[in-house]
Amino acid sequence: MTEPRAVLVFTERQELFYGFTTNDLKDRDMLLERARIAIQYRGTMGVLGLVAVGPNAECRISKAVPKLYVRGIEWAAEVESEEAQAEWDKGHWRSEE
């Protein structure tokens, strides 16, 4: 059995989800475990910055849900950096000023 790996997926509805999956990155639908959605991301140098270094204190990242089935995936990227994964696990939520 394949070990779950951390991924960031972008859907055709322009949603960004982070979680762990055993699916192939080419799949259009994925089951994500410990899934979160990126509601806002600032200071990350774009979407691929979320893959490379993860979110920061300026972002709004939801709490995790145990399992989420995501459909209509446009692209997916593996989040290999343990440091980036640790930032996702923090679930940053920037307060409105």
Residue 97 binned pLDDT confidence (cut-offs 50, 70, 90):
low
- Name residues whose C-beta falls within 8 Å of residue 83's C-beta, 6 or more positions apart in sequence: 53, 54
15-28 pLDDT per residue, tens: 999 999 999 999 99
Q: How many residues does the chain have?
A: 97
Query: pLDDT at residue 1 above 70?
Result: no
Domain residue limits at 75: 5-90
- Cβ-in-10-Å burial (0-12, 13-18, 19+) of 18 comes to buried
pTM value is 0.93
Judge whether 70 lies within some domain: yes
Judge whether 26 lies within some domain: yes
Residue 76 binned pLDDT confidence (cut-offs 50, 70, 90):
very high
Judge whether 85 lies within some domain: yes
> For the chain, how many structural domains are there in total?
1
Please report the pLDDT score of residue 31 as a whole number: 98
Secondary structure class of 90 (helix, strand, coil): helix
Judge whether 95 lies within some domain: no
- Name residues whose C-beta falls within 8 Å of residue 21's C-beta, 6 or more positions apart in sequence: 4, 5, 7, 30, 31, 32, 33
Tokens of 34: 């410990």
Please report the pLDDT score of residue 37 as a whole number: 97
Judge whether 32 lies within some domain: yes
CATH no. for residue 32? 2.30.30.100
Judge whether 97 lies within some domain: no
Please report the pLDDT score of residue 60 as a whole number: 95
Amino acid at 10: F
Judge whether 96 lies within some domain: no
Please report the pLDDT score of residue 95 as a whole number: 74
36-70 pLDDT per residue, tens: 999 999 999 999 999 999 999 999 999 999 999 99
